[in-house]
Structure 1
Amino acid sequence: MTPGGGTYEGIIGSHNDNADYDIAPESIETRASPHRKISALNGVNRGVAANSAVHELLECPICLNEMYPPIHQCPNGHTLCSKCQSKIRCCPICRHELGNIRCLALERVAESLELPCRYQNLGCQDIFPYNIRLRHEQSCRFRPYNCPYAGAECPMTGDIPFLVAHLKSDHKVDMHDGCTFNHRYVKSNTQDVENATWMLTVFNCYGYQFCLHFEAFNIGTAPVYMAFIRFMGDDQDARKFSYTLEVGANGRKMTWQGVPRSIRDSHLKVRDSMDGLIIQRNLAMFFSGGNRQELKLKVAGRIWKEQA
Structure 2
Amino acid sequence: MDVPGSQMSDNELSKDRNELPDIQVSKPSSFSVVKSSVSSSSGVHELLECPVCTNSMYPPIHQCPNGHTLCSSCKLRVHNHCPTCRHELGDIRCLALEKVAESLDLPCRYQNLGCSGIFPYYGKLKHEQLCEFRPYNCPYAGSECSITGDIPSLVAHLKNDHKVDMHDGCTFNHRYVKSNPHEVENATWMLTVFNCFGEHFCLHFEAFLLGVAPVYMAFLRFMGEEEDAKKYTYSLEVSGSGRKMIWQGVPRSIRDGHKKVRDSYDGLVIHRNVALFFSGGSRQELKLRVTGRIWKEQ
TM-score w.r.t. length of structure 1: 0.81
CA distance in 2, matches of 1:78, 1:230: 45
The structure carrying a bigger helix percent of its residues is 2
> Alignment partner for residue 83 of structure 1, among 46, 59, 73?
73
SS of the equivalent of 1:302 reads strand
* Change beyond 3 A, Cα 1:111–1:179: same
Give the aligned residue type for 1:85. K
Q: Aligned match of 2:44 in 51, 54, 66?
A: 54
1:242 maps onto 2:233 in alignment = yes
**2:93 & 2:147 partners in 1: Cα distance?**
37
Other structure's SS at 1:138 match: helix
8 Å CA contact 1:46–1:114 kept in 2: the answer is: no
Map residues 94-133 of structure 1 onto 2, 5 A cutoff: 94-133=85-124
Distance 1:139 1:46 in 2: 30
**Cα-to-partner distance string for 1:145-179 (whole Å, 9 max, x where unaligned):** 11111122111111111111111111100110000
1:225 aligns with 2:216: yes
One of 152, 159, 164 as aligned partner of 1:168:
159
Change (3 A) 1:230 1:109: same
User: Which residue in the other structure is 1:209 paired with?
Assistant: 200
SS at match of 2:188: coil
Q: 1:75 to 1:187 in 2, by over 3 A?
A: same
Could you tell me how far apart the structure 1 residues matched to 2:172 and 2:295 are? 12
Deviation at 1:290, TM superposition (A): 3.0
Alpha-carbon distance, 1:47 to partner: 6.9
Q: List per-residue Cα deviations over 1:47-88 (Å, max 9, x = no partner).
A: 713221211211222322222222222222222222223334
Matched, 1:65 2:55: yes
1:26-57 deviations in whole A, cap 9, x for unaligned?
xxxxxxxxxxxxxxxxxxx9971322121121
- Secondary structure of 1:254's counterpart equals strand
Question: Percent of pairs identical after alignment?
Answer: 75
Match of 2:270 among 252, 271, 279: 279
**Counterpart amino acid of residue 199 in structure 2:** Y
> How far apart, in 1, do the equivalents of 2:191 and 2:171 lie?
16
Q: Write out per-residue CA displacement over residues 266-306 of structure 1, whole angstroms, 9 at most, x where no aligned residue.
A: 22211211111112222222221231121111100000000
Q: Which 10-residue stretch deviates more, 210-219 or 297-306? A: 210-219
Give the aligned CA root-mean-square deviation in angstroms.
Answer: 1.7
Alignment gaps of 5+ in structure 1: 1-44
Letter in 2 for 1:295: L
Give, in whole Å, the separation in 1 of the partners of 2:224 and 2:103.
Answer: 35
Instruction: Provide, for residues 96-149 of structure 1, a one-character-per-residue CA deviation record: whole Å limited to 9, x for no partner.
Output: 332222121111111101111111122211110111101111121221111111
Which range moved further: 110-119 or 45-54? Answer: 45-54
Matches within 5 A, 1:255-294: 255-294=246-285
Corresponding position: 1:187 with 2:173: no
Summarize deviations over 1:180-232 as a string: whole Å, max 9, x none: 11011111111110221100000000010001111111222222211111111
Distance 2:44 2:53 in 1: 17
| Contact preservation (8 Å) 1:71, 1:79 | yes
CA contact (8 A) 1:46 1:112 kept: no
For 1:153, the aligned partner's letter is E
Contact 1:47–1:112 (Cα < 8 Å) also in 2? no
The structure showing larger relative contact order (alpha-carbon pairs under 8 Å, at least 6 residues apart) is 1
Give TM-score scaled by structure 2 length.
0.83
Residues 296/48 of structure 1: CA separation in 2 closer, same or farther (3 Å cut): same
Instruction: Report the Cα distance in structure 2 between the residues aligned to 1:201 and 1:275, rounded to whole angstroms.
Output: 18
Tell me the distance in 2 between the aligned counterparts of 1:194 and 1:154: 20
Alpha-carbon distance in structure 1 between the residues aligned to 2:186 and 2:280: 24
Name stretches of at least 5 consecutive residues in structure 2 with no aligned partner: 1-30
Measured against aligned partners, the alpha-carbon deviations of 1:1-38 in whole angstroms (never above 9, x if no partner) come to: xxxxxxxxxxxxxxxxxxxxxxxxxxxxxxxxxxxxxx
